[in-house]
Structure 1
Amino acid sequence: MSMFALSGDKFVELFDFNAKLVCMVKTSVESQAPAKRPKHAVKRQILLDEAARQINDRGAGAVSLNDIAECAGLSRNALYYYVTDRADLTFQCYLRTCEAATENLAAAYEQGRDAIERIRIYTERTLSFDQPTLAALCDPDFLPEPHRATILDLHRRNIETLENFIQDGISEGVIRPTHTEIAAQTLHGMINWTQLSHKWLNQKDGNALRKRLTGAILDLFFFGLAASEGKKFSCPVDVVTLTTRPFNAFDRAQATQEKIAQLVAAASRMFNRRGIDGASLDDISASVGATKGAVYHYFDDKMDLITQCYERAFDLYSMFVDVAVAQGTTGFERSMIVMHLNSQAQAGPTPPLMLQPGLLSVPESHRARFVQQSLDIWRRCEALIRQGIEDGTCRPCDARAVSSVSAGSFLWLHKWLPEDYALTPFQLADTQCRILINGIACR
């Protein structure tokens, strides 16, 4: 059965262009590598597997070419037959991620009978533990042009294809009317987070965990969290009001703390949008009208700034759960307040730092504390869903897995959200929460 015989014109155009572009770029990259003898092809795959793991663990700018070469069984000199430098290695890993997404979307279209089944196949193929290790597209700004633009364009076209799946499902009557872009990005965010979350939640990545989390993503995305059909929810809290704090500009100590807070908030926003390795201290200082010297006046180095960004993030994530417990009356309401506040915050101008690649680059003393804080928040969110199942307001589900994967829906918001997006942060959170309340599938 031919995909092209079945597909609509728009899908054919998107997929065909993406496939040709991936092939063209891949051919260009491989032309600079050794001749494609079987031994070299295998070595290249091992090299990209190890590089993707390090990118996910340490961030693109912190990978060690020596370590990667050693794990791939190559000398440092032999490594340069395959890549020219760290940026080229990252580009090849990101290119493989885009290529895998294009192939998985094509396979899903071929094999799926309707949009629901195609989304399921795509998600299962992408998260299969048997697939090669893929680098999360978190640091594209680390790449020089034109490589950065190439990756962003390939990724955009893959997301548009996923949007077309959802739109087709609405036309077929198997998916309820929804905001297709936000729905596609919500699913993509949960998939991306699942490939990284085991580090932050102290889990062992493997086939059993991937299957469990894949099932949780599909259950939540298709059917939502609410026990009753057409459940309504209105968040009682605006995150701006919640996080705004008065200060006395004439109090020197308070003024200093406010400057530090502004730099940390600006850095968090920049790191979320460009990746930790894609945002420089010059970029961060310029965004608040300061100099690089001003950043070094308040922080020892970039890692000190990153650490303080994570400390602020966990303070906010924990506060959102506290507020949800105080404001909600059922497990469902409390769970959705947590989701809504996190979506508002990530869509706003001063978001918390998202949990992203680079955990292993954080100093060990801070890393252990951050992982413990991640676990504490995860367990509290799981408890809220369990409470909802017990009080009858949440559907029976794998509460532990759902509380894990749902974080991906808001953690990845800043990666795609345009600066001039039509919806306000509160409206965007409303739209995203409607997807997670009732799911996209017509029950």
Structure 2
Amino acid sequence: MKRQILLEEAARQINDRGAGAVSLNDIAERAGLSRNALYYYVTDRADLTFQCYLRTCESATENLAIAYEQGANALERIRIYTERTLSYERPTLAALCDPDFLPEPHRATILDLDRRNIETLENFITDGVHEGIIRPVHTEIAAQTLHGMINWTQLSYKWLNQKDGKALRKRVTGSILDLFFHGLAASEGKSFACPIDVATLTARPFNAFDRAQATQEKMAQLVAAASRLFNRRGIDGASLDDISASVGATKGAVYHYFDDKMHLITQCYERAFDLYSMFVDVALAQGTTGFERSMMVMHLNSQAQAGPTPPLMLQPGLLSVPESHRARFMLQSQEIWRRCEAMIREGVEDGSCRPCDARAVADVSAGAFLWLHKWLPENYVLTPFQVADEQCRILINGVAR
């Protein structure tokens, strides 16, 4: 019992602060343990994180097994799995954002368990296609899209300043299943062709002979490289050495432009919110219906996250960001959320979107693209634009026939 309380409290802190910033003293105190008693259960912060991540993977494996046994078909199994995973009555689990924080072989163990769970979820979808109750879809992207929405939902309430509880979990769970099964479009067989390539949209003129521009470009390259590695490995799993090496620089070069790692992290969030806001602005300017605008936001974000220089995803560690930045980032995330909600409401009113819980759909749909860089391999067979097409195809009409 003490160990379960310890791991649940640790999971909360990992989700709030990130794996590398949890306080063992604080966790021990909240779990009713002395610091010495804590070491009866774990050896250090990395071991505690490993046990929390192992618990997350084992819970997913159990939920998938129960869903397989109890579900009469693929859609029922997906529903049972999603509802069990997001049930507020079940213990708090750590989101698998920082596996690279773990030393080997623990890192490999967690990644392998997570991969197996995703493959099982993908098999549910494949079975549904064979049964004729799920549309022919890109099963890997479909499974990862659902997985991303589920994972994001366990973190988003912090970013969006919501109170986690039974009511919120029921609302977002219902919206995930409704969106994944039935999509956003009001009419059957609706399609969407995004007219914008993110790479072109975000391209900037650059004069290598202008000293100020050259400095800004070097900083921009470091921020983009850091965002990519933080998305893939987690903020605590990517070091300054990793980031500098990825652009052929030294760690000293990073410190030339940034005071410390937290300064770099805040600059990554600054860039991310600039991009997220730009995508909403472009969608509002170019879309003609609520549906078109909503899907353009989704497509642009999917392209960006699948591309080589993605914006930093919103992830665990919010409470580790300095308060002045944290409050502003939360306000920015809430403003983008409200603007996306308004697009969906507009779509319901103009008849282009299905009636839905627009507020919850605007929340959960972000998980579809925010988790992309966690699984998408380098040199993936599809281009970023094609990945975005596949994701949007799933969220337009849903997977259920």
TM-score per shorter chain, which class? over 0.9
Question: Alpha-carbon deviations, 1:325-350, whole Å to 9, x = none?
Answer: 11110000000000000000000000
Q: Which residue matches 2:54?
A: 95
One of 71, 75, 80 as aligned partner of 1:121: 80
Q: Which residue matches 1:155?
A: 114
In the alignment, is residue 81 of structure 1 matched against residue 37 of structure 2?
Answer: no
Distance 1:206 1:419 in 2: 37
Distance 1:323 1:331 in 2: 13
Cα distance, 1:430 vs structure 2: 0.2
Distance 1:229 1:243 in 2: 33
One of 71, 76, 80 as aligned partner of 1:112: 71
Instruction: Kindly report which structure 2 residues correspond to 1:26-425, keeping only aligned pairs within 5 A, or say none.
Output: 42-425=1-384
Distance 2:400 2:38 in 1: 48
Question: Alpha-carbon deviations, 1:99-128, whole Å to 9, x = none?
Answer: 000000000011111000100000000000
Percent of counterpart pairs with the same letter? 88
Distance 2:155 2:192 in 1: 30
Normalising by structure 1, what TM-score?
A: 0.90
Cα distance, 1:229 vs structure 2: 0.3
Question: Alpha-carbon deviations, 1:263-292, whole Å to 9, x = none?
Answer: 000000000000000000000000000000
Distance 2:161 2:102 in 1: 30
Secondary structure of the residue aligned to 1:343 is helix
Secondary structure of the residue aligned to 1:80 is helix
Work out which structure has the larger RCO, using CA pairs closer than 8 Å and 6 or more positions apart in sequence.
2
Corresponding residue pairs, total? 401
Secondary structure of the residue aligned to 2:334 is helix
Cα distance, 1:247 vs structure 2: 1.1
Task: Tell me if structure 2 keeps the 8 A contact 1:236–1:327.
Answer: no
Distance 2:344 2:167 in 1: 22
Question: Alpha-carbon deviations, 1:278-321, whole Å to 9, x = none?
Answer: 00000000000000000000000000000000000000000000
Task: Tell me if structure 2 keeps the 8 A contact 1:97–1:135.
Answer: yes
Cα distance, 1:420 vs structure 2: 1.7
Distance 1:133 1:332 in 2: 35
Distance 1:114 1:129 in 2: 25
Secondary structure of the residue aligned to 1:177 is coil
Distance 1:51 1:292 in 2: 31
Question: Alpha-carbon deviations, 1:39-92, whole Å to 9, x = none?
Answer: xxx100000000000000000000000000000111101100000000000000
Secondary structure of the residue aligned to 1:129 is coil
Distance 2:287 2:92 in 1: 40
Secondary structure of the residue aligned to 1:318 is helix
Question: Alpha-carbon deviations, 1:324-382, whole Å to 9, x = none?
Answer: 01111000000000000000000000000000000000000000000000000000000
- Please tell me the root mean square deviation across aligned C-alpha atoms, in Å: 0.3
Secondary structure of the residue aligned to 1:81 is helix
Distance 1:132 1:147 in 2: 22
Distance 2:71 2:392 in 1: 27
1:185 partner amino acid: Q
Task: Tell me if structure 2 keeps the 8 A contact 1:331–1:385.
Answer: yes
Question: Structure 1 segments of 4 or more deviating over 4 A?
Answer: none
2:259 partner amino acid: D
Secondary structure of the residue aligned to 1:87 is helix
Task: Tell me if structure 2 keeps the 8 A contact 1:331–1:388.
Answer: yes
Question: Alpha-carbon deviations, 1:382-434, whole Å to 9, x = none?
Answer: 00000000000000000000000000000000000000210000000000100
Q: Which residue matches 1:16?
A: none
Distance 1:233 1:338 in 2: 12
Distance 1:375 1:163 in 2: 32
Distance 2:150 2:390 in 1: 19
Unaligned runs of 5+ in 2: none
Distance 2:179 2:304 in 1: 21
Distance 1:345 1:153 in 2: 27
Normalising by structure 2, what TM-score?
A: 1.00
One of 390, 393, 396 as aligned partner of 1:434: 393
Distance 2:390 2:21 in 1: 36
